[in-house]
Copies of this chain bind each other. A is one copy, B any other.
Amino acid sequence: MSAIPSIAAPPPKPLLAALGGAARKIPPIWLMRQAGRYLPEYRAIRAEAASFLDFCYDAKLAAEATLQPIRRFGFDAAILFSDILVVPDALGQRVGFESGEGPRLEPIDSAAGFKGLREELDWARLEPVFETIERVKASLPREVALIGFCGAPWTVASYMIAGRGTPDQAPARLFAYRQPDVFQALIDRLADVSADYLARQIRAGAEAVQIFDSWSGVLPPAEFERWCVRPIERMLKRLRAATPRTPIIAFPRGAATQLAKFASLDGLAAIGLDTAVEPRAAAAALPPRLALQGNLDPIALLAGGRALDEGVERVLQGFAGRAHIFNLGHGVLPQTPIAHVERLVARARGAG
């Protein structure tokens, strides 16, 4: 019996190849918040749902929003259109979104408040998310990968306690100092249900997942270790046990000097880098098995022109020679001109 070479296997999707550690001459590209308000076709369908959360829970609309930027720009990955706050919502906390103001939750600031939440996610509530993934998978071009996501425990907890986004997470930090045991229990619960949530996204068809720790940059190092690094490690363990092969990206925004703490976590395929990270320094400091994702300043994309061109070049050169996924250092801003995104894609692919 001689081995018969497979002639039918398609080449791996560029995103998954990079997440596997392969350096590519032209890095795969997708952008955080690539679906959303800067697209006229998004604004058109957004009007079809009463609230933002209704929109996220409408599988048809959410799938369409997920696909729109793929059709328009040909990105190498689609990312599930949803919100990190579906997790507190599915734990029973009241979550709403005020137009132009961002999320508003019924804030919880006591052990009793957390006791009132569910132990497990309300899977029926989240069913439309998984249906969204199935719908997207059915119509995604074969070379485009689908990314699922959730918020990291610290970031989600900071919203749950403050009831809104906060520049400094003061309410959550104060709560964690005053009632560390209660806060630890909340963080552990969030880590476990979030890992289960990602596993379920993967079973529905997500080919990679990203954990967004958008608000980790202001914690002192000991608190950063306890509330950001360890909970993500806990998620990785649980998720690895459920789905051993799906690559996991962590995006610890603001981690700065503490990025290396993530590099040593078992089971992490990639780290998303924010705008403040120096590409060359990160490329030199982090192990080559890790793919690095990022990190063009979204404001350079908004500005366009020379700022955009120089920014793209700096990112490409900084990560050249190692596994790299081109992305922004934070999400696309709503005012971003579409022509700037087209230019970014063309230049990142060497055609601009």
A123 interface residue per 8 A CB criterion: no
Residues of A contacting B: mostly: helix
> Is the beta-carbon distance between B276 and A218 smaller than 8 angstroms?
yes
**Chain A 278-311: CB-based contact to B (< 8 A → 1; otherwise 0):** 1001000000000000010101101101010001
Q: Which of A224-259 contact B (CB under 8 A)?
A: 224, 254, 256-258
Query: Which among B178, B254, B258, B295 is the interface contact of A307 at CB below 8 angstroms?
Result: B178
A5 interface residue per 8 A CB criterion: no
Chain B nearest CB, measured from A219 CB (Å): 7
Chain B nearest CB, measured from A224 CB (Å): 7
Across the interface, name the chain B residue whose C-beta is closest to A224.
B276
> Is the beta-carbon distance between B307 and A218 smaller than 8 angstroms?
no
CA distance A219 to B330 in the complex (A): 12
> Is the beta-carbon distance between B220 and A276 smaller than 8 angstroms?
yes
CA distance A194 to B244 in the complex (A): 57
Query: Which among B218, B275, B276 is the interface contact of A275 at CB below 8 angstroms?
Result: B218
> Is the beta-carbon distance between A275 and B307 smaller than 8 angstroms?
no
Q: Enumerate chain B residues within 8 angstroms of A258, measured Cβ to Cβ.
A: 278
Chain B nearest CB, measured from A157 CB (Å): 15
Q: Enumerate chain B residues within 8 angstroms of A275, measured Cβ to Cβ.
A: 218-220
A343 interface residue per 8 A CB criterion: no
Chain B nearest CB, measured from A310 CB (Å): 8
> Is the beta-carbon distance between B257 and A303 smaller than 8 angstroms?
no
A69 interface residue per 8 A CB criterion: no
> Is the beta-carbon distance between B219 and A276 smaller than 8 angstroms?
yes
> Is the beta-carbon distance between A278 and B303 smaller than 8 angstroms?
no
A217 interface residue per 8 A CB criterion: yes
A329 interface residue per 8 A CB criterion: yes
Across the interface, name the chain B residue whose C-beta is closest to A314.
B222
Q: Enumerate chain B residues within 8 angstroms of A254, measured Cβ to Cβ.
A: 217, 276
User: Which bracket fits the contact residues of A?
Assistant: 35 or more
Chain B nearest CB, measured from A65 CB (Å): 24
Across the interface, name the chain B residue whose C-beta is closest to A307.
B177
> Is the beta-carbon distance between B299 and A170 smaller than 8 angstroms?
yes
Chain B nearest CB, measured from A141 CB (Å): 32
A352 interface residue per 8 A CB criterion: no
Q: Enumerate chain B residues within 8 angstroms of A220, measured Cβ to Cβ.
A: 275-276, 295, 297, 300, 311, 314, 329
CA distance A182 to B307 in the complex (A): 15
> Is the beta-carbon distance between B217 and A276 smaller than 8 angstroms?
yes
CA distance A261 to B295 in the complex (A): 21
> Is the beta-carbon distance between A178 and B257 smaller than 8 angstroms?
no
Across the interface, name the chain B residue whose C-beta is closest to A308.
B177
Q: Enumerate chain B residues within 8 angstroms of A100, measured Cβ to Cβ.
A: none
> Is the beta-carbon distance between B256 and A173 smaller than 8 angstroms?
no
Chain B nearest CB, measured from A282 CB (Å): 9
> Is the beta-carbon distance between A221 and B278 smaller than 8 angstroms?
yes
Query: Which among B173, B256, B302 is the interface contact of A257 at CB below 8 angstroms?
Result: B256
Q: Which residues of A contact B (CB under 8 A)?
A: 167, 170, 173-174, 177-178, 180, 217-224, 254, 256-258, 275-278, 281, 295, 297, 299-300, 302-303, 305, 307, 311, 314, 329, 333
Chain A to chain B: the 9 pairs with minimum beta-carbon distance, closest first: A256-B256, A177-B303, A177-B307, A167-B167, A221-B278, A173-B299, A220-B297, A178-B303, A220-B275
